[in-house]
Amino acid sequence: MTPLEALNRVVYLMDRSLAASAKIGAFRNAAAVIAELPPGELEQRVAAGTLLELPGIGKSTGAVITQALAGEVPQRIVDLEATTIVPLSNKGQVYRQALRGDCHAHTFWSDGATSVETMARTAQDLGHEYLVITDHSPRLTVAHGLNAARLREQLSEIAFLNERMAPFRILAGIEVDILEDGSLDQDPDLLARLDVVVASAHSKLRMERTAMTRRLVLAVASPHVDILGHCTGRKLRSTGTQAVSDPELARPESSFDPELVFAACARFGTAVEINCRPERQDPPDPLLELALDWECFISIDTDAHAPGQLEWQAFGCDKAARHEIPMDRIVNTWSVDRLVEWAANHPTG
Ligand SMILES: [Zn+2]
Ligand SMILES: [Zn+2]
């Protein structure tokens, strides 16, 4: 393991736990620093004891580099491999093995931590056949949402990568913001070009129940929308096993009439997302049960913002197992061709 591989592995493992992002940032930054060094410099600095004089290298990152250079598996990696394992029950394992891809993932085109290629290669390493890239839309300025021009640029990058990574498929998607009036935050022509569209509400989550119901129903009924993302918008203060990284961000579920929203999902063939993020776990169990009563399609998605978070699908698989969701209702169990065909053709009312 080279020092660069070791630092990247630390970042990956910290990402799959809920480590505070500042802590991960130090390792990500150190990886960027040593990636730029001329060959031999690290070895010279370790021999001369000047490694920590490099800007961006501290005691923790320096220890990982030094141990990797000595041909050891750094102790931090040994510890993290053991402590950050994402748990998965036997019944959940059956679901995990049936999943062929993930329909919700971010890159540094919006607020993700890394490139389309790194996310896609990680998904491939995890056994997936495809990954849908779903960066944010323009109104979500805090997340550097993509305007039409940048989304078109991203589509070119995806097309280029697809030639190199075949038969693995990177599907072009978006997490389009559901605006207050239920309209969508991207050009309809562009939405029509995408393979898979996830639609989510990110602002005005406390709006009054009738207005929120109308907002979600209108979005779900759009011919462009394939998956309703994190439907309640809740963020948990604790995940049960550990506190979330920023408890200040905790927020309650949005208020809406779930019968109407899920009836609309069923009517228009729009899937309800099981969002696997530990701080979201959306929808809550009673709502998921209701979506299943309505025979909605389900999509088990990580909403990963970093490669290590792609492993969070295990949480959704356990949830699916607890609710005994029929396999064929889960869109990620379908072949990629069937998924794309469904996304293009489910009923539009
Ligand atoms: Zn979102
Ligand atoms: Zn997202």
pLDDT score at 21 = 73
> How much is the pLDDT for 242?
52
Fold for domain 3-83?
DNA polymerase; domain 1 (1.10.150)
Ligand 1 centroid distance, CA of 136 (Å): 8
> What per-residue confidence (pLDDT) applies to 346?
84
Q: Domain 90-345 belongs to what architecture?
A: Alpha-Beta Barrel (3.20)
User: Which 3 state secondary structure label does DSSP give 258?
Assistant: helix
Tell me which residues of the chain have a pLDDT lower than 50: none
The ligand whose atoms approach the alpha carbon of 233 most closely is 1
Taking the CA of 303 as reference, the closest ligand is 2
Confidence at residue 244, expressed as pLDDT on a 0 to 100 scale? 54
Residue 162 Cα to ligand 1 middle (Å): 25
* Ligand closest in space to the Cα of 205: 1
- Beta-sheet strands, E only, within the chain: 101-102, 130-133, 169-177, 196-200, 227-228, 271-275, 298-301
What distance in angstroms lies between residue 312's CA and the mean position of ligand 1's atoms?
Answer: 15
Residues of the chain with CATH 3.20.20.140: 90-345
What pLDDT, on a 0 to 100 scale, did the predictor assign at position 19?
72
Could you tell me if residue 102 is left (phi over 0), alpha (psi between -120 and 50 degrees) or otherwise beta?
beta
CA of 63 to the centre of ligand 1 (A): 36
Residue ranges of the chain assigned to CATH 1.10.150: 3-83
pTM for the complete prediction?
Answer: 0.94
pLDDT in the model for residue 262: 98
pLDDT of 238 reads: 63
